[in-house]
Amino acid sequence: MEKNKKLITQRISKVICFLLIFTAFLGIGSKIFIPKKNSAEYGNKNYYGNSYHGERANSIDIVVVGNSSAYKSFSPLELWNKYGYTSFVCGAPAQKIQEGYYMLENFLKEQKPKVVIYETEGIFNSYGKKIKSSYNQAKRDLIFLSNEIDGINATLDVVTANICPLLKYHNRWSSLKPEDFTLEPDYSKHYVSKGYVLTNKVKPYRGNKNYMKPSDYTTPIQYTNLYYLNKMKELCDKNGAEFVLMSSPLPRAWNDERHKAVKAYAEKNNIKYLDTNLYIDEMKIDWSKDSSDKGYHLNMYGAKKNTAFVGKYLTDNFKLTDHRGDKEFSQWNKDYKIYSNKKIK
């Protein structure tokens, strides 16, 4: 009996030692592999979306969260020039809604925005297959279930990578620099674009202009995405920010079926919702000039129009401060000048 107890104790001790060593390995590895600077050179591929670290603390009034639809359709410096509001885009390519949530959570540790806007394309395009109205109900249900499994897996990936950066940055092993072993992370580098990715490319959209035509079908929102939408709303409430849903002009990715799903969710949860796809004519969007890739994204010409329209919506619905005459925000005037020169080139 005593021998068995001793054997069990030894095994437990070995397991504990292994876990301690493994945890230490993950901790030290994460510290080494995490990018030390907020730049592509140091392995931070999404440096523009994380460049809020280079902004003055508690100086941003509006933050837009989302995938490329967000950072190519909304320009903070266009908003500044026209309205004097300070804003930032926390975006990433093909950003999953889970990633958006944790990005917002980190952003709120440094900033106290009055308004948080989530760009809605990521609700449907984070992972999995599209559910089309032409499919029969059995096929829709099968795809929905498959997407839900993918959503759970995506959540596990995002959560574990958030807890242990080594899992996210392990591919940096071949590009590690000597300073990766000695320096502490410093993400204070200032980027003038405030998360917006500028492109002057013009590739016309020549598809159906009536892409928002009424439909009898409503695209279902995955349970995983609903969960994180609710968490974003709760996070905003906790931090005293108004949560807003926004759909950018996307003829290749948006339609009435998705619009109705977001609208129903917004109404049920008392959330403001702006779908700019319903105001294409009012914004004077010209699909022969205002898209960079045949209707998947806006270029800088389309982004300027969209941002101006969103700015009017913000002015009409929230009490925001025009900071253009405030000396504390003089850096924004300097940034806008640099940004304007980039647009000309």
pLDDT band for position 190 (cuts 50, 70, 90)? confident
Answer whether residue 214 is part of any domain: yes
Of 15-19, 53-57, 314-318, give the lowest mean pLDDT range. 15-19
Answer whether residue 285 is part of any domain: yes
Of 182-191, 199-208, 240-249, give the lowest mean pLDDT range. 182-191
Taking every pair of C-alpha atoms in the chain, what is the biggest distance, in angstroms? 84
Sheet holding 272-275, edge to edge: 87-91, 62-66, 115-119, 242-247, 272-275
Q: List pLDDT tens digits, range 132-166.
A: 555 545 455 455 555 555 655 566 555 555 565 65
CA distance linking residue 254 with residue 18, whole number of Å: 50
Per-residue pLDDT at 136: 47
89 close to 71: Cβ distance less than 8 angstroms: yes
Answer whether residue 26 is part of any domain: no
Q: Span 208-219, mean pLDDT?
A: 94
Per-residue pLDDT at 82: 98
pLDDT band for position 287 (cuts 50, 70, 90)? very high
CA distance linking residue 245 with residue 263, whole number of Å: 9
Q: What is the CATH number for 289?
A: 3.40.50.1110
What is the number of domains present in the chain?
Answer: 1
Answer whether residue 241 is part of any domain: yes
Answer whether residue 21 is part of any domain: no
Answer whether residue 178 is part of any domain: yes
* Domain with 184 in it: 34-344
Q: What pTM was computed for the model?
A: 0.83
Q: List pLDDT tens digits, range 314-331.
A: 999 999 999 999 999 999
Neighbours of 330 (CB within 10 A): 12
Answer whether residue 6 is part of any domain: no
Answer whether residue 101 is part of any domain: yes
On average, the pLDDT of the chain sits at 83
Tokens of residue 331, six digits? 């850096």
